[in-house]
Amino acid sequence: MKRLTLYLVTAVLGAAFSAASAGDVDALAKGCNDCHGPGGVSQSSDVPSLAGLPEFVHSDALYVYRDEERPCTESKYRHGDTTRPATSMCAVAAKLSDDDIDAIAAAYAALPYVKMTQEFDATLASAGKALHDEHCDQCHSDAGTNADDEAGMLGGQGMDYLRTSFKQFADDTRGQPKKMKEKFDMLSEADLEGLDLEALVHYYGSIQ
pLDDT digits (tens, 9 = 90+) for 9-57: 333 333 333 334 444 888 888 889 999 999 999 999 999 999 999 999 9
Query: Three-state SS for 87?
Result: strand
Residue with the bigger pLDDT between 202 and 19: it is 202
Stated pTM of the model: 0.82
Residue with the bigger pLDDT between 111 and 173: it is 111
Question: Cβ neighbours of residue 1 under 8 Å, at least 6 residues apart?
Answer: 106, 107, 110
CA distances from 52 to 1, 49, 149 (A): 14, 8, 12
Query: Three-state SS for 158?
Result: coil
Query: Distance from CA of residue 63 to its chain's centroid?
Result: 14
Angle at 9 between CA 156 and CA 204, to 5 degrees: 5
User: What is the DSSP secondary structure assignment for residue 75, as one 8-state letter?
Assistant: B
pLDDT digits (tens, 9 = 90+) for 106-133: 999 999 999 999 999 999 999 999 999 9
- Residue 147 CA to residue 163 CA, distance in Å, equals 21
Provide the CATH topology of domain 6-109: Cytochrome Bc1 Complex; Chain D, domain 2 (1.10.760)
Provide the CATH topology of domain 122-205: Cytochrome Bc1 Complex; Chain D, domain 2 (1.10.760)
Domain regions of the chain by residue span: 6-109, 122-205
